[in-house]
Structure 1
């Protein structure tokens, strides 16, 4: 979905009316919240129109995620694997032997969703659960030789999609994009490095 450029942003240097306080005016004094302060004087109706319309970031990201997922799903289908297990494998390829709790944190899942995913992986012969010698309550997840053999193809499923998505950006623009997304994340989570919300789909 093309992102529409915003052309009706008020020019505060030319319009005293726009900078008058409104009910929606922000009160933040956090020096990091430059965007909040910049838009504090905009009329409430303009803020609402942009943030729920042209600047509906959540919708744009969700739309992009769906496109990413569909591309990865096609590649995983060629391997006769469900797309939902991609996130588990990705995390374990980077660090095999994670505990179930650690794995859940890496892929932003909790409870029954993790158990379901691990059951799928076990049935496919891709992982084995192993209880810790030190603490029998702790379960470690280990990749099988079958999963190791699929490593390159699993990574390629995402790499090809990412290559398509980034083909119109320079390296500097990609670095800038991720820097800005980090700041968006900081705004959502409340502080830099905050935990992402749990989701029901790590792919």
Structure 2
């Protein structure tokens, strides 16, 4: 015979009670707003993720960069090709292993940081705009703690 707890687990989960839905909905809203701000600078959202990683660690292989961004390497190739066309990155093939391609920011790619990072900060501030400093600190801590419940 099912217990009340078992029945509760089979009841429909309202969207406003679903952690997954709420986090996804928030993420989509943040991404839309960030994309709008980036487009004002001629930068696609996909390029933003690669730029962020390269600003922290320049000269990664194409494979490592795709992995860090969480994108399949074939999908990354198209975005990286566009970034190369824009003059933001340059590719350098390894002399010891011709299968490896290293990606380096150009000066133009490095210069984007000064314009784009403030836009990202603005979107983050908008996301927590109706929260106190303590609430923001708790919110971020809870998000980080929830993430530890799942393997990388």
Give the TM-score normalised by structure 2.
0.86
- The counterpart of 1:117, out of the listed 79, 85, 89, is 79
Q: Could you tell me which residue of structure 2 aligns to residue 168 of structure 1?
A: 130
Matched, 1:182 2:144: yes
- Consecutive unaligned residues of structure 2, counting only runs of 5 or more, are none
C-alpha root-mean-square deviation of aligned residues, in Å? Answer: 2.1
Note closer, same or farther for the CA distance 1:72–1:45 as it changes in structure 2 (3 Å cut).
Answer: same
**Aligned mate of 1:84, from 36, 39, 46:** 46
Q: Matched residues in 2 for 1:145 and 1:153: separation?
A: 13
Instruction: Report if the CA contact (8 A) 2:16-2:22 is conserved.
Output: no
Q: 1:103 aligns with which of 62, 65, 70?
A: 65
Q: Secondary structure at the match of 1:130?
A: strand
In the superposition, relative to structure 1, how do residues 180 and 77 fare at CA in structure 2: closer, same or farther (>3 Å)? same
Structure 2 matches for 1:134-149, cutoff 5 A? Answer: 134-149=96-111
Unaligned runs of at least 5 residues, structure 1: 1-19, 23-41, 196-203
Q: CA deviation at 1:59?
A: 1.3
| Structure 1 position 86, deviation (Å) | 0.9
Deviation at 1:134, TM superposition (A): 3.4
1:50–1:56: 8 Å Cα contact kept in structure 2?
no
8 Å CA contact retained: 2:15, 2:21: no
- The structural deviation recorded for 1:149 is 1.5
- TM-score, structure 1 length as denominator? 0.67
Tell me what 1:69 maps to.
31
The aligned residue for residue 131 of structure 1 is 93
CA contact (8 A) 2:58 2:105 kept: yes
* Equivalent position SS for 1:150: helix
CA distance in 1, matches of 2:15, 2:29: 20
**Paired position in structure 1 for 2:9:** 47
SS of the residue corresponding to residue 123 of structure 2 reads helix
C-alpha displacement at 1:160, in angstroms? 0.6
